[in-house]
Amino acid sequence: MRPHLTMNDKSNPSDRQLLYRELDSLVTQICQESSNPWKRARLLNQLVTKMKNSGSIWSNKDNVPYYEDALQEQWEFFSNNLCEARTGTQYDRDRSNVITWFNNYFKWRLQNCASRVNRENNRRDDREQFYEDGTAIDRIDTLPAEDETHAVECIQLLEEIQSWIETNPDGVLNECIRGRKDITCQVILRSKLSGKDFTTIAAEFGCAYHTIYSFYRKKCQPHLQKFRERLGY
């Protein structure tokens, strides 16, 4: 890695001033660049990279589990409101440097996450579900999780696919590589389902991996596609 300026307590004040000037100049350029979104994206990439690698972004001192989510939200807020007020108050360079502005909002966002977690725990406590020793059964220290229906659907889908490959109901998976009756679509799909890559499968069967891959693309995948469509994916 190329060394970058660090902004911990030991950093040189002049280095810090230099960094602030650099960041400020980037902010000016970004906000002036309205005609070419690619140029803007490149400048923003520079700004974000410099800020993230500066060591000055508020760190996870309290080791809270929602730190990363709040951080990403804050970066989105940052890019939305740097040059215009899109989702909040616009950055005002006369009031603070860009890192201070970032950190102030970020700390507020972390507090906000903490109260959301507290609120959720209070709600759960109200239902009075406790272990025998008095601790609440389902207290959380992370943000409330989203529902699990998606995971359930995924598991059902896997079961259906496995059963399709093993029972091969319409016999379509018997199709094989010419001259190699042992390498059928069924065999390849089964191997791929177990996470094997094409090179490994090729080595196991003593067959060129390009042959296996091309057979998978041309013959097996269309069957899979049809099955997928039947399931509605």
Partner 1 sequence: MNNTNTETESLPMPITQKAIHLASQFASQHQHPQKVEQIYINTLAVLVVGDYLKLLGIEIDLDRGDSWNPVTRLFENVADLYIKGLGKIECRPIRRVHQNAENGKQNLSDNPPETCPVPLEAREERIGYIVVEIDEDEKVARLLGFSPTADSGELVLKELHSLDDFLVNLEHFFDAKVDLNQWFLNVFNSDWQPFDAVFNPQPQTSPREIENPISSNLGNWFKNIVETGWQKIEQGKKSLEDAIFPDKNPDFAFRGGGSSRSESPLSGGQTTIRQTFPEADVTRAKLIDLGMRLGRTTVALLVAIAQQSDRTVRVHAQLHPAIGELYLPRNLKLSLISDAGKILDELESTVQQQCISLEFEVEPGESFSIRLAIDDLSITENFMV
Which amino acid would we find at residue 100? T
Is residue 63 close enough to count as binding partner 1 by CB under 8 A?
no
3-state class (DSSP) for residue 233: coil
Residues 172-211 that bind partner 1 (CB under 8 A): 189, 192-199, 209
User: Which of 5, 114, 136, 157 is the binder for partner 1 (CB under 8 A)?
Assistant: 157
Per DSSP, 182 falls in state E
- Rounded Cα distance between 75 and 67, Å, is 12
Is residue 11 close enough to count as binding partner 1 by CB under 8 A?
no
Nearer to partner 1, 131 or 149 (CB): 149
Is residue 213 close enough to count as binding partner 1 by CB under 8 A?
yes
Instruction: Report how far Cα 24 is from the mean position of its chain's Cα atoms.
Output: 29
The H-assigned helical ranges of 82-181 are: 98-126, 149-167
- Rounded Cα distance between 66 and 219, Å, is 46
Is residue 65 close enough to count as binding partner 1 by CB under 8 A?
yes
User: Which of 154, 170, 174, 222 is the binder for partner 1 (CB under 8 A)?
Assistant: 154
Which CA distances in Å does 95 have to 16, 55, 178? 17, 22, 73
Is residue 148 close enough to count as binding partner 1 by CB under 8 A?
yes
Residues making contact with partner 1 (CB under 8 A)? 1-2, 4, 35-38, 40-42, 44-46, 48-49, 52-53, 65-69, 71-72, 75-76, 79, 142-143, 145-146, 148, 150-151, 153-155, 157-158, 161, 189, 192-199, 209, 213, 224, 227-228, 231, 233
